[in-house]
Amino acid sequence: MRPRSALSVLAVLLLALLLPAPAYAADTATATFSKPSDWGSGWEGRFTLTNGSGAAVDGWQVEFDLPSGTTVGSYWNALMTKDGQHLTFTDREYNAAIPSGGSVTFGFLGNGPGAPENCTFNGGSCAGGGDGDPDPGGLGAPSAPTISAHTESSLTLAWQAGTGTPTGYHVYEGSTLRATVSGTTATISGLEKCSTHSYTVKAYGDDGESPASTAVTGSTDGCATGPLPKHFLTGYWHDFVNSARALKLSQVPDEYDVVAVAFGEATSRFGEVSFKVDPGLAKAVGGYTDEQFKADIKALQAKGKKVILSVGGEKGAVWVGNASAADLFTNSVSSLMTEWGFDGVDIDLENGISPQYMGQALRALRAKAGNDLIITMAPQTLDMQSTGGAYFQLALNIKDILTVVHMQYYNSGTMLGCDQGVVSQGTVDFMTSLACIQLENGLRPDQVALGLPAGAGAAGGGVVSPSLVNNALDCLAKATNCGSFKPPKTYPGIRGAMTWSINWDVTNGGRFAGTVGPHLDTLP
Protein backbone atom coordinates (compact mmCIF):
# COMPACT_ATOMS: atom_id res chain seq x y z
CA MET A 1 0.00 0.00 0.00
CA ARG A 2 3.09 2.27 -0.26
CA PRO A 3 5.26 3.57 -3.14
CA ARG A 4 7.02 1.26 -5.55
CA SER A 5 8.90 1.83 -8.79
CA ALA A 6 6.74 2.02 -11.97
CA LEU A 7 6.91 -0.19 -15.06
CA SER A 8 8.14 1.65 -18.14
CA VAL A 9 5.53 0.78 -20.71
CA LEU A 10 7.17 2.85 -23.44
CA ALA A 11 10.43 0.94 -23.03
CA VAL A 12 8.60 -2.32 -23.68
CA LEU A 13 7.01 -0.90 -26.82
CA LEU A 14 10.34 0.40 -28.16
CA LEU A 15 11.99 -2.97 -27.49
CA ALA A 16 9.54 -4.61 -29.86
CA LEU A 17 10.81 -2.41 -32.67
CA LEU A 18 14.52 -2.75 -31.92
CA LEU A 19 14.98 -6.51 -31.47
CA PRO A 20 16.73 -8.23 -34.41
CA ALA A 21 14.97 -10.84 -36.50
CA PRO A 22 15.26 -14.36 -35.03
CA ALA A 23 17.29 -17.19 -36.54
CA TYR A 24 14.79 -19.72 -37.81
CA ALA A 25 14.80 -23.40 -36.92
CA ALA A 26 13.81 -26.69 -38.49
CA ASP A 27 10.24 -27.38 -39.64
CA THR A 28 9.74 -30.08 -37.01
CA ALA A 29 9.17 -27.50 -34.27
CA THR A 30 5.45 -26.96 -33.53
CA ALA A 31 3.32 -24.15 -32.12
CA THR A 32 0.13 -25.41 -30.45
CA PHE A 33 -2.67 -22.97 -29.60
CA SER A 34 -5.09 -23.41 -26.69
CA LYS A 35 -7.67 -21.37 -24.79
CA PRO A 36 -7.19 -22.10 -21.07
CA SER A 37 -10.19 -19.90 -20.20
CA ASP A 38 -13.10 -18.15 -21.89
CA TRP A 39 -15.55 -15.81 -20.14
CA GLY A 40 -17.88 -14.90 -22.98
CA SER A 41 -16.68 -11.38 -23.78
CA GLY A 42 -13.06 -12.47 -23.96
CA TRP A 43 -10.61 -15.31 -23.55
CA GLU A 44 -7.04 -16.21 -22.70
CA GLY A 45 -4.97 -17.56 -25.60
CA ARG A 46 -1.81 -19.57 -25.14
CA PHE A 47 0.79 -20.92 -27.57
CA THR A 48 3.11 -23.76 -26.58
CA LEU A 49 6.21 -23.90 -28.78
CA THR A 50 7.76 -27.37 -28.78
CA ASN A 51 11.10 -28.15 -30.39
CA GLY A 52 10.90 -31.69 -31.78
CA SER A 53 13.96 -31.24 -33.96
CA GLY A 54 17.48 -32.42 -33.22
CA ALA A 55 18.89 -28.88 -33.07
CA ALA A 56 18.22 -26.01 -30.70
CA VAL A 57 15.92 -23.17 -31.76
CA ASP A 58 17.78 -19.87 -31.48
CA GLY A 59 15.02 -17.29 -31.64
CA TRP A 60 11.37 -17.74 -32.66
CA GLN A 61 8.55 -15.96 -34.41
CA VAL A 62 4.86 -16.94 -34.55
CA GLU A 63 2.52 -15.24 -37.02
CA PHE A 64 -1.22 -15.65 -37.54
CA ASP A 65 -4.36 -13.89 -38.70
CA LEU A 66 -7.43 -13.09 -36.63
CA PRO A 67 -10.92 -12.96 -38.16
CA SER A 68 -12.71 -9.62 -38.32
CA GLY A 69 -14.14 -8.62 -34.95
CA THR A 70 -11.46 -10.42 -32.94
CA THR A 71 -8.68 -8.45 -31.26
CA VAL A 72 -5.75 -9.01 -28.92
CA GLY A 73 -5.14 -6.89 -25.82
CA SER A 74 -2.51 -7.60 -23.18
CA TYR A 75 0.19 -10.23 -23.83
CA TRP A 76 3.14 -11.77 -22.00
CA ASN A 77 6.37 -13.74 -22.57
CA ALA A 78 6.60 -12.30 -26.13
CA LEU A 79 6.74 -9.06 -28.08
CA MET A 80 3.86 -8.28 -30.45
CA THR A 81 3.50 -6.24 -33.61
CA LYS A 82 0.42 -6.14 -35.81
CA ASP A 83 -0.60 -5.12 -39.29
CA GLY A 84 -4.38 -4.97 -39.38
CA GLN A 85 -5.59 -8.46 -38.44
CA HIS A 86 -2.15 -10.03 -38.96
CA LEU A 87 -0.19 -10.45 -35.72
CA THR A 88 3.47 -11.35 -35.17
CA PHE A 89 4.86 -12.52 -31.83
CA THR A 90 8.62 -12.76 -31.30
CA ASP A 91 10.70 -14.04 -28.41
CA ARG A 92 11.97 -12.09 -25.44
CA GLU A 93 15.69 -12.42 -24.67
CA TYR A 94 15.06 -14.73 -21.75
CA ASN A 95 13.04 -17.30 -23.75
CA ALA A 96 14.60 -17.10 -27.23
CA ALA A 97 16.42 -20.45 -26.97
CA ILE A 98 14.39 -23.69 -27.11
CA PRO A 99 16.62 -26.76 -26.69
CA SER A 100 15.91 -29.95 -28.57
CA GLY A 101 12.95 -31.59 -26.83
CA GLY A 102 12.17 -28.38 -24.91
CA SER A 103 9.28 -25.95 -25.03
CA VAL A 104 8.27 -22.39 -24.12
CA THR A 105 4.89 -20.69 -23.86
CA PHE A 106 3.53 -17.21 -24.46
CA GLY A 107 0.03 -15.89 -24.10
CA PHE A 108 -2.36 -13.01 -24.66
CA LEU A 109 -5.90 -11.83 -23.98
CA GLY A 110 -8.35 -11.99 -26.87
CA ASN A 111 -11.73 -10.35 -27.43
CA GLY A 112 -14.32 -11.50 -29.92
CA PRO A 113 -15.48 -14.85 -31.25
CA GLY A 114 -12.47 -15.95 -33.30
CA ALA A 115 -9.13 -17.66 -32.83
CA PRO A 116 -5.77 -17.66 -34.66
CA GLU A 117 -5.81 -18.75 -38.33
CA ASN A 118 -3.07 -19.34 -40.94
CA CYS A 119 -0.49 -19.86 -38.23
CA THR A 120 3.23 -20.07 -39.02
CA PHE A 121 6.14 -20.84 -36.68
CA ASN A 122 9.53 -19.56 -37.88
CA GLY A 123 8.21 -19.44 -41.42
CA GLY A 124 6.79 -22.99 -41.48
CA SER A 125 3.46 -24.48 -40.48
CA CYS A 126 2.61 -24.32 -36.79
CA ALA A 127 1.73 -28.00 -37.17
CA GLY A 128 5.41 -28.78 -37.72
CA GLY A 129 5.64 -29.60 -41.38
CA GLY A 130 2.00 -30.53 -41.96
CA ASP A 131 -0.18 -28.22 -44.00
CA GLY A 132 -3.08 -28.11 -41.57
CA ASP A 133 -5.48 -29.71 -44.06
CA PRO A 134 -8.64 -31.40 -42.70
CA ASP A 135 -8.70 -35.10 -41.93
CA PRO A 136 -9.27 -37.68 -44.72
CA GLY A 137 -13.03 -37.46 -44.15
CA GLY A 138 -12.95 -33.89 -45.37
CA LEU A 139 -13.95 -32.28 -42.07
CA GLY A 140 -11.79 -29.61 -40.46
CA ALA A 141 -11.87 -28.81 -36.76
CA PRO A 142 -14.38 -26.13 -35.72
CA SER A 143 -13.02 -22.86 -34.39
CA ALA A 144 -12.39 -22.51 -30.69
CA PRO A 145 -15.83 -22.11 -29.08
CA THR A 146 -16.79 -19.16 -26.90
CA ILE A 147 -19.21 -18.93 -23.97
CA SER A 148 -21.98 -16.77 -25.41
CA ALA A 149 -24.40 -16.99 -22.44
CA HIS A 150 -24.49 -18.36 -18.92
CA THR A 151 -27.00 -18.87 -16.10
CA GLU A 152 -26.82 -20.59 -12.71
CA SER A 153 -27.48 -23.94 -14.38
CA SER A 154 -26.37 -23.66 -18.00
CA LEU A 155 -23.63 -22.57 -20.39
CA THR A 156 -24.22 -21.72 -24.06
CA LEU A 157 -21.39 -22.31 -26.54
CA ALA A 158 -20.95 -20.85 -30.01
CA TRP A 159 -18.32 -21.65 -32.64
CA GLN A 160 -17.53 -21.28 -36.31
CA ALA A 161 -17.65 -24.19 -38.74
CA GLY A 162 -14.47 -25.77 -40.03
CA THR A 163 -13.96 -26.92 -43.61
CA GLY A 164 -16.15 -29.57 -45.19
CA THR A 165 -19.89 -30.27 -44.94
CA PRO A 166 -20.64 -31.98 -41.62
CA THR A 167 -23.90 -33.60 -40.57
CA GLY A 168 -23.62 -31.84 -37.20
CA TYR A 169 -21.43 -31.32 -34.16
CA HIS A 170 -20.58 -33.22 -30.99
CA VAL A 171 -19.81 -31.26 -27.81
CA TYR A 172 -17.54 -33.05 -25.34
CA GLU A 173 -16.68 -32.41 -21.71
CA GLY A 174 -13.44 -34.34 -21.47
CA SER A 175 -14.28 -37.65 -23.17
CA THR A 176 -18.00 -37.44 -22.30
CA LEU A 177 -20.43 -36.48 -25.08
CA ARG A 178 -22.62 -33.70 -23.68
CA ALA A 179 -24.58 -32.55 -26.75
CA THR A 180 -25.25 -33.33 -30.43
CA VAL A 181 -26.48 -30.39 -32.54
CA SER A 182 -26.92 -29.56 -36.20
CA GLY A 183 -25.95 -25.89 -35.91
CA THR A 184 -23.01 -24.03 -34.44
CA THR A 185 -24.43 -23.35 -30.97
CA ALA A 186 -25.27 -25.61 -28.04
CA THR A 187 -26.63 -25.07 -24.53
CA ILE A 188 -25.44 -27.44 -21.81
CA SER A 189 -28.04 -27.52 -19.02
CA GLY A 190 -28.39 -29.17 -15.64
CA LEU A 191 -25.11 -27.77 -14.27
CA GLU A 192 -24.44 -26.81 -10.67
CA LYS A 193 -24.34 -23.10 -9.90
CA CYS A 194 -20.88 -21.53 -9.70
CA SER A 195 -19.28 -24.60 -11.29
CA THR A 196 -16.51 -24.60 -13.91
CA HIS A 197 -16.57 -26.74 -17.07
CA SER A 198 -14.35 -27.26 -20.12
CA TYR A 199 -15.65 -28.25 -23.56
CA THR A 200 -14.38 -29.16 -27.02
CA VAL A 201 -16.36 -29.45 -30.26
CA LYS A 202 -15.98 -31.92 -33.15
CA ALA A 203 -17.77 -31.91 -36.48
CA TYR A 204 -19.13 -35.31 -37.53
CA GLY A 205 -20.36 -36.93 -40.73
CA ASP A 206 -20.57 -40.31 -42.49
CA ASP A 207 -16.78 -40.72 -42.38
CA GLY A 208 -16.42 -39.98 -38.66
CA GLU A 209 -15.40 -36.96 -36.60
CA SER A 210 -13.11 -34.05 -37.31
CA PRO A 211 -10.22 -33.17 -35.01
CA ALA A 212 -11.33 -31.46 -31.79
CA SER A 213 -11.54 -27.73 -31.47
CA THR A 214 -9.48 -25.88 -28.90
CA ALA A 215 -11.06 -26.28 -25.46
CA VAL A 216 -13.08 -23.50 -23.84
CA THR A 217 -13.60 -23.13 -20.09
CA GLY A 218 -16.50 -21.29 -18.43
CA SER A 219 -18.32 -21.00 -15.11
CA THR A 220 -22.02 -20.86 -14.30
CA ASP A 221 -23.53 -17.98 -12.34
CA GLY A 222 -24.59 -18.04 -8.69
CA CYS A 223 -21.20 -17.57 -7.02
CA ALA A 224 -21.26 -16.26 -3.46
CA THR A 225 -20.11 -12.66 -2.99
CA GLY A 226 -20.33 -12.25 0.78
CA PRO A 227 -22.94 -10.59 3.03
CA LEU A 228 -22.41 -7.01 1.83
CA PRO A 229 -24.37 -4.21 0.11
CA LYS A 230 -24.53 -4.13 -3.67
CA HIS A 231 -22.11 -1.18 -3.62
CA PHE A 232 -19.84 -0.53 -0.65
CA LEU A 233 -16.87 1.48 0.61
CA THR A 234 -13.76 -0.17 2.10
CA GLY A 235 -11.10 1.59 4.13
CA TYR A 236 -7.85 0.44 5.71
CA TRP A 237 -7.28 1.15 9.41
CA HIS A 238 -3.70 1.51 10.66
CA ASP A 239 -2.50 -0.79 13.42
CA PHE A 240 0.67 1.28 13.56
CA VAL A 241 1.71 4.89 13.97
CA ASN A 242 2.74 7.15 11.09
CA SER A 243 2.08 10.73 10.03
CA ALA A 244 -1.67 10.14 9.72
CA ARG A 245 -3.98 10.55 12.70
CA ALA A 246 -4.04 7.56 15.06
CA LEU A 247 -7.56 6.20 15.60
CA LYS A 248 -9.46 3.62 17.57
CA LEU A 249 -11.88 1.48 15.58
CA SER A 250 -14.70 3.27 17.39
CA GLN A 251 -13.63 6.47 15.59
CA VAL A 252 -14.06 5.06 12.06
CA PRO A 253 -16.52 7.27 10.10
CA ASP A 254 -19.91 5.71 9.48
CA GLU A 255 -19.61 5.85 5.67
CA TYR A 256 -17.23 2.87 5.67
CA ASP A 257 -18.91 -0.51 5.15
CA VAL A 258 -15.76 -2.65 5.39
CA VAL A 259 -12.79 -1.93 7.65
CA ALA A 260 -9.55 -3.70 6.73
CA VAL A 261 -7.22 -3.88 9.74
CA ALA A 262 -3.65 -3.37 8.48
CA PHE A 263 -1.77 -5.60 8.92
CA GLY A 264 -1.49 -9.22 9.96
CA GLU A 265 2.19 -10.07 9.99
CA ALA A 266 4.49 -13.01 9.29
CA THR A 267 6.08 -15.18 11.96
CA SER A 268 9.25 -17.26 11.74
CA ARG A 269 7.19 -20.08 10.17
CA PHE A 270 6.32 -19.82 6.47
CA GLY A 271 2.62 -19.10 5.94
CA GLU A 272 1.76 -18.34 9.55
CA VAL A 273 0.06 -15.02 10.29
CA SER A 274 0.04 -13.19 13.62
CA PHE A 275 -1.78 -10.11 14.89
CA LYS A 276 -1.74 -7.90 17.97
CA VAL A 277 -2.76 -4.37 18.79
CA ASP A 278 0.40 -2.35 18.24
CA PRO A 279 1.72 -0.91 21.53
CA GLY A 280 2.72 2.32 19.81
CA LEU A 281 -0.78 2.72 18.40
CA ALA A 282 -2.34 1.96 21.78
CA LYS A 283 -0.20 4.65 23.42
CA ALA A 284 -0.97 7.19 20.68
CA VAL A 285 -4.75 6.87 21.22
CA GLY A 286 -4.49 7.13 25.00
CA GLY A 287 -4.66 3.41 25.71
CA TYR A 288 -6.24 0.57 23.74
CA THR A 289 -6.45 -2.90 25.22
CA ASP A 290 -7.15 -6.11 23.37
CA GLU A 291 -10.58 -6.29 24.96
CA GLN A 292 -11.42 -2.74 23.89
CA PHE A 293 -10.32 -3.54 20.35
CA LYS A 294 -12.53 -6.66 20.28
CA ALA A 295 -15.46 -4.69 21.70
CA ASP A 296 -15.04 -2.07 18.96
CA ILE A 297 -15.14 -4.81 16.30
CA LYS A 298 -18.42 -6.10 17.75
CA ALA A 299 -19.83 -2.56 17.84
CA LEU A 300 -19.02 -2.02 14.18
CA GLN A 301 -20.59 -5.37 13.29
CA ALA A 302 -23.70 -4.43 15.25
CA LYS A 303 -24.07 -1.44 12.90
CA GLY A 304 -23.86 -3.75 9.87
CA LYS A 305 -20.17 -3.16 9.16
CA LYS A 306 -17.60 -5.87 8.42
CA VAL A 307 -14.07 -5.97 9.83
CA ILE A 308 -11.41 -8.02 8.06
CA LEU A 309 -7.71 -8.66 8.63
CA SER A 310 -5.39 -7.46 5.87
CA VAL A 311 -2.31 -9.61 5.38
CA GLY A 312 0.82 -8.13 3.85
CA GLY A 313 1.41 -4.52 2.91
CA GLU A 314 4.52 -3.10 1.29
CA LYS A 315 6.82 -4.76 3.84
CA GLY A 316 4.69 -7.83 4.48
CA ALA A 317 6.70 -11.04 4.26
CA VAL A 318 3.99 -13.69 4.55
CA TRP A 319 5.05 -16.50 2.18
CA VAL A 320 2.57 -19.15 1.03
CA GLY A 321 4.54 -21.13 -1.53
CA ASN A 322 4.00 -24.78 -0.63
CA ALA A 323 1.38 -27.05 0.92
CA SER A 324 2.64 -26.79 4.49
CA ALA A 325 2.74 -22.98 4.31
CA ALA A 326 -0.81 -23.01 2.92
CA ASP A 327 -1.97 -25.10 5.88
CA LEU A 328 -0.29 -22.74 8.35
CA PHE A 329 -1.89 -19.74 6.66
CA THR A 330 -5.34 -21.32 6.83
CA ASN A 331 -5.07 -22.43 10.42
CA SER A 332 -3.48 -19.24 11.74
CA VAL A 333 -5.93 -16.90 9.99
CA SER A 334 -8.85 -19.08 11.12
CA SER A 335 -7.59 -18.84 14.72
CA LEU A 336 -7.21 -15.06 14.47
CA MET A 337 -10.75 -14.74 13.13
CA THR A 338 -12.03 -16.72 16.09
CA GLU A 339 -9.92 -14.85 18.64
CA TRP A 340 -10.52 -11.29 17.46
CA GLY A 341 -13.84 -11.59 15.61
CA PHE A 342 -12.71 -10.75 12.08
CA ASP A 343 -15.20 -11.38 9.23
CA GLY A 344 -12.61 -12.30 6.61
CA VAL A 345 -9.20 -11.66 5.13
CA ASP A 346 -7.63 -9.24 2.67
CA ILE A 347 -4.67 -10.40 0.56
CA ASP A 348 -2.26 -7.50 0.11
CA LEU A 349 0.99 -9.32 -0.64
CA GLU A 350 3.16 -6.96 -2.69
CA ASN A 351 6.25 -9.17 -2.76
CA GLY A 352 5.09 -12.21 -4.71
CA ILE A 353 2.19 -14.64 -4.54
CA SER A 354 1.51 -18.28 -5.50
CA PRO A 355 -1.88 -18.72 -7.19
CA GLN A 356 -1.80 -22.46 -6.48
CA TYR A 357 -0.99 -22.46 -2.79
CA MET A 358 -2.69 -19.22 -1.78
CA GLY A 359 -5.78 -20.46 -3.62
CA GLN A 360 -5.53 -23.74 -1.71
CA ALA A 361 -5.21 -21.84 1.58
CA LEU A 362 -8.20 -19.59 0.90
CA ARG A 363 -10.44 -22.48 -0.13
CA ALA A 364 -9.53 -24.31 3.06
CA LEU A 365 -10.27 -21.16 5.06
CA ARG A 366 -13.65 -20.87 3.36
CA ALA A 367 -14.41 -24.48 4.33
CA LYS A 368 -13.62 -23.63 7.97
CA ALA A 369 -15.31 -20.23 8.15
CA GLY A 370 -18.40 -20.87 6.02
CA ASN A 371 -20.11 -19.14 3.11
CA ASP A 372 -20.12 -15.67 4.73
CA LEU A 373 -16.32 -15.43 4.67
CA ILE A 374 -15.20 -12.18 3.03
CA ILE A 375 -12.13 -12.50 0.79
CA THR A 376 -10.71 -9.32 -0.73
CA MET A 377 -7.52 -8.63 -2.65
CA ALA A 378 -5.45 -5.45 -3.07
CA PRO A 379 -3.03 -6.00 -5.97
CA GLN A 380 -0.88 -3.31 -7.54
CA THR A 381 -1.71 -2.16 -11.07
CA LEU A 382 1.11 -4.18 -12.61
CA ASP A 383 -0.29 -7.34 -10.98
CA MET A 384 -3.55 -7.04 -12.95
CA GLN A 385 -2.26 -6.13 -16.43
CA SER A 386 -2.98 -9.62 -17.77
CA THR A 387 -4.39 -12.97 -16.73
CA GLY A 388 -0.84 -14.29 -17.01
CA GLY A 389 0.05 -12.45 -13.80
CA ALA A 390 0.02 -14.42 -10.55
CA TYR A 391 -2.45 -12.12 -8.77
CA PHE A 392 -4.89 -12.21 -11.69
CA GLN A 393 -4.56 -16.00 -11.87
CA LEU A 394 -5.36 -16.25 -8.15
CA ALA A 395 -8.43 -14.04 -8.57
CA LEU A 396 -9.74 -16.19 -11.43
CA ASN A 397 -8.87 -19.44 -9.64
CA ILE A 398 -10.99 -18.48 -6.61
CA LYS A 399 -13.63 -16.54 -8.53
CA ASP A 400 -16.41 -18.63 -7.01
CA ILE A 401 -15.51 -17.56 -3.45
CA LEU A 402 -13.84 -14.18 -4.07
CA THR A 403 -15.68 -11.12 -2.76
CA VAL A 404 -13.86 -8.23 -4.44
CA VAL A 405 -10.57 -7.04 -5.92
CA HIS A 406 -9.83 -3.41 -5.01
CA MET A 407 -6.69 -2.82 -7.05
CA GLN A 408 -4.39 0.04 -5.98
CA TYR A 409 -4.79 2.69 -8.70
CA TYR A 410 -1.81 4.66 -7.38
CA ASN A 411 1.99 4.57 -6.86
CA SER A 412 2.01 3.30 -10.43
CA GLY A 413 3.08 5.75 -13.12
CA THR A 414 1.81 4.93 -16.63
CA MET A 415 0.18 1.62 -17.55
CA LEU A 416 -1.62 0.03 -20.50
CA GLY A 417 -5.42 0.19 -20.53
CA CYS A 418 -7.71 -2.46 -21.95
CA ASP A 419 -7.57 -0.75 -25.38
CA GLN A 420 -3.73 -0.90 -25.24
CA GLY A 421 -3.60 2.87 -24.79
CA VAL A 422 -1.00 4.30 -22.42
CA VAL A 423 -2.73 6.01 -19.46
CA SER A 424 -1.33 8.01 -16.55
CA GLN A 425 -2.34 7.69 -12.92
CA GLY A 426 -4.44 10.43 -11.37
CA THR A 427 -7.01 10.51 -14.20
CA VAL A 428 -10.49 9.14 -14.84
CA ASP A 429 -9.13 7.27 -17.89
CA PHE A 430 -6.55 5.51 -15.72
CA MET A 431 -9.26 4.18 -13.41
CA THR A 432 -11.77 3.19 -16.07
CA SER A 433 -9.37 1.65 -18.60
CA LEU A 434 -7.55 -0.43 -15.96
CA ALA A 435 -10.83 -1.55 -14.39
CA CYS A 436 -11.89 -2.57 -17.90
CA ILE A 437 -9.03 -5.11 -18.04
CA GLN A 438 -10.45 -6.92 -15.04
CA LEU A 439 -14.07 -6.55 -16.13
CA GLU A 440 -13.45 -7.83 -19.65
CA ASN A 441 -11.10 -10.63 -18.68
CA GLY A 442 -12.92 -12.82 -16.22
CA LEU A 443 -13.98 -10.97 -13.08
CA ARG A 444 -17.64 -10.12 -12.52
CA PRO A 445 -18.52 -6.44 -12.00
CA ASP A 446 -19.45 -7.18 -8.39
CA GLN A 447 -15.86 -8.35 -7.89
CA VAL A 448 -14.21 -5.11 -9.04
CA ALA A 449 -13.75 -1.94 -6.96
CA LEU A 450 -11.56 1.15 -7.35
CA GLY A 451 -8.79 1.64 -4.79
CA LEU A 452 -7.50 5.22 -4.39
CA PRO A 453 -5.51 7.26 -1.84
CA ALA A 454 -7.50 9.28 0.69
CA GLY A 455 -5.63 12.50 -0.01
CA ALA A 456 -2.32 14.20 0.60
CA GLY A 457 0.24 12.02 2.36
CA ALA A 458 -1.52 8.73 1.62
CA ALA A 459 0.50 7.82 -1.48
CA GLY A 460 3.52 8.88 -3.48
CA GLY A 461 1.49 9.31 -6.68
CA GLY A 462 -2.01 8.87 -8.04
CA VAL A 463 -3.83 11.03 -5.49
CA VAL A 464 -7.09 12.23 -7.07
CA SER A 465 -10.01 14.34 -6.04
CA PRO A 466 -12.80 12.11 -4.64
CA SER A 467 -15.11 13.65 -7.25
CA LEU A 468 -12.98 12.01 -9.98
CA VAL A 469 -13.49 8.66 -8.28
CA ASN A 470 -17.24 9.30 -8.53
CA ASN A 471 -16.85 10.18 -12.22
CA ALA A 472 -15.00 6.92 -12.86
CA LEU A 473 -17.72 4.93 -11.07
CA ASP A 474 -20.39 6.72 -13.12
CA CYS A 475 -18.51 5.99 -16.34
CA LEU A 476 -18.26 2.28 -15.55
CA ALA A 477 -21.80 1.90 -14.21
CA LYS A 478 -23.76 4.33 -16.42
CA ALA A 479 -21.45 5.51 -19.26
CA THR A 480 -21.62 9.10 -17.94
CA ASN A 481 -18.81 11.45 -16.79
CA CYS A 482 -16.21 9.48 -18.76
CA GLY A 483 -12.91 10.89 -19.92
CA SER A 484 -11.56 10.20 -23.40
CA PHE A 485 -11.70 6.43 -22.82
CA LYS A 486 -15.15 4.88 -23.28
CA PRO A 487 -15.57 1.34 -21.88
CA PRO A 488 -17.02 -1.21 -24.32
CA LYS A 489 -20.15 -1.59 -22.16
CA THR A 490 -21.61 -0.48 -18.85
CA TYR A 491 -21.13 -2.42 -15.61
CA PRO A 492 -24.01 -1.47 -13.28
CA GLY A 493 -22.83 -4.03 -10.75
CA ILE A 494 -19.43 -2.36 -10.18
CA ARG A 495 -18.88 -3.02 -6.48
CA GLY A 496 -17.60 0.28 -5.14
CA ALA A 497 -14.39 1.84 -3.89
CA MET A 498 -11.55 1.41 -1.41
CA THR A 499 -9.20 3.93 0.12
CA TRP A 500 -5.80 3.87 1.75
CA SER A 501 -6.61 4.82 4.36
CA ILE A 502 -9.27 5.68 6.94
CA ASN A 503 -6.58 7.35 9.05
CA TRP A 504 -5.40 9.51 6.15
CA ASP A 505 -9.01 10.31 5.25
CA VAL A 506 -9.75 11.56 8.75
CA THR A 507 -6.45 13.50 8.72
CA ASN A 508 -7.58 15.20 5.49
CA GLY A 509 -11.02 16.11 6.80
CA GLY A 510 -12.99 13.01 5.75
CA ARG A 511 -13.45 14.17 2.14
CA PHE A 512 -13.04 10.72 0.59
CA ALA A 513 -15.67 8.94 2.67
CA GLY A 514 -17.92 12.00 2.69
CA THR A 515 -17.84 12.29 -1.11
CA VAL A 516 -17.58 8.71 -2.40
CA GLY A 517 -19.63 6.95 0.30
CA PRO A 518 -22.95 8.74 -0.43
CA HIS A 519 -22.33 8.57 -4.18
CA LEU A 520 -22.27 4.76 -4.09
CA ASP A 521 -25.95 4.88 -3.13
CA THR A 522 -26.73 6.60 -6.45
CA LEU A 523 -25.32 3.79 -8.61
CA PRO A 524 -27.76 1.41 -10.32
What residues act catalytically? 350
As a whole number of angstroms, the distance between CA 101 and CA 103 comes to: 7
Q: Give burial (CB, 10 Å; 0-12/13-18/19+) of 364.
A: middle
DSSP letter at 352? Answer: -
Is 490 in a helix, a strand, or coil? coil
Is 225 in a helix, a strand, or coil? coil
Q: Are 205 and 167 in contact (CB under 8 A)?
A: yes
DSSP letter at 24? Answer: P
Kindly provide the residue ranges of all beta strands, DSSP E only, lying in 387-436, ordered along the sequence: 404-408, 414-416, 422-424
DSSP letter at 155? Answer: E
Q: Are 492 and 478 in contact (CB under 8 A)?
A: yes
Query: Cα–Cα distances in Å, from 316 out to 175, 262, 264, 358?
Result: 45, 10, 8, 15
DSSP letter at 20? Answer: P
Q: Are 463 and 455 in contact (CB under 8 A)?
A: yes
DSSP 62-98: EEEE--TT-EEEEEESSEEEEETTEEEEE--GGG-EE
Kindly provide the residue ranges of all beta strands, DSSP E only, lying in 224-283, ordered along the sequence: 232-238, 258-266, 273-274
